[in-house]
Structure 1
């Protein structure tokens, strides 16, 4: 199955995966009319979401969800709203049901309208990027402010933490991009030509390639440009989606990069070779992709749009080897070597049951094996 749409009424605004032990992940969806957050279970065999929500939270009148981010632990989510504040929810799993409990957080209530929310990979930091260009960074979970930049950008477009949680990359609606030290402040501004707009950003996550990927609009050309984060210099670019991208995402293991277009297409790129491995056109026909996020454990991607709702799409990429499959292969090779050695041993013709080419058979040297000769007399 290429994709599956969750049931339920309401225009979908945002969604994200919530990680669970044993890969029993769930998806939280923010909807309008009425404004609610709903949690659906995910079925990996059918690549689909449950038809009815396992948990639900209804916003008060006049409050609507805008964007949402889940903590890496899976026990909390932060949701920005149209009223200018963010709500912090603690998540409790009770059998088949899930409960969302609002937790009071004064620092988040006063942040204003937010365009971007992001947790660091280790879960120790939360960054918020405002519509007014205000950047704030909080320690998690005490919510103390570690970075406060009222004029970080004209208005935020995108943001992402590096794998080691030392850097934060941010982009602006005016085409600029900046790098921040999470324990310091502004580090550098990415260089660009006068006809270039840097729009989206994602750090590499495989632990071996210290790169930053950005989508760059250069006139009518849509490029994916790579920066080396040790020097913050460009090292290359590729034309991948071939049209303006609305969202960018990277898998947790860093092997795949995804781009979602403003007219409903998605493409998935193998990072090692920077080649497209999956392309689905018109997944959200005519609608801009509003959510683009890899499943924490499977090669499945979550997408949303206002017109077509939320979809889980299985990717046409090579199957990854599971840990138990590797151990099974090694065990099979070991058993095969034992069998080969046993056959080799049983069919050898020397006294020690190992072949020794060029030597005569043992009975031709010692004579009749039935004789009374003793080995000690040789």
Structure 2
């Protein structure tokens, strides 16, 4: 159904067994850190399912009440945790069987949170193959936010240029719209003309349709029309903000590569990624994405293994003379905002830029 997201890393290691990454990869495999963790994921999925049921029960019992906005915020948080499972399934972290991972991904992505699993995996594959590479990484392609000076200077029209000028200030407010952006992109990818056909596409369309139809029917059956609209807005804003805040610190503000940069796999992944310091709570809140360096080096490693392998990776980077970038939770966002502010500086008045 989907392409092998671990393939790019594995192929590079195979073709360069004497490389710095191959040495590390052998250590990791010998330590058994790539073994599947079925008990962990069974528990995670069961807990998420329980939280969805709990939220659904509260939604029905509260009825036409404005306290439902608390339920909407709760669902925004739970939806993000569910999306993290979809992410892990896309990386084939959960099961050894590709089919099982794809089924879990389709259920958690299309059916439960309303995002196209196939579209996201294809997009995420390109990101993992070339993180922060201008022109190759879709996550820094020219969109509402400019991540490079060239993208900023290419903007035409006053609204677009004004947005880039103040994008550092607008970044978090714009994340409130991220879930809606992903929903729209998912629908366009599945229904748009010229999209790639796949065997899973009919299933994706069906599951996505069931999600949106069920979501709308539930809102209109329990809430007044005005309450339904406000509930959906709060829910999707919390979902988008949480999801965006989990992914934003990983690469934004790190070095952006160009066609002139020729780096091996290890350096390409490590030098463009940022880890977030923290304990078990941070691991839970960020879905393991706080170990971004380890995740990019070993995408198919189950989430619990990332903490265990960190020491090996950090030590190996030190032996290779490579910077292992790690930041605090708030410090990472400060770096992201400084980068966005610097990118928008050329479009600001000279006095402001100085």
In our comparison, the structure showing a higher alpha carbon Rg is 1
Q: What is the TM-score normalised by the length of structure 2? A: 0.21
Structure with the larger helix share:
2
Structure scoring higher RCO (CA < 8 A, sep ≥ 6) equals 2
What is the TM-score with the length of structure 1 in the denominator? 0.20
Give the number of the structure whose residues are more often strand, by fraction.
1
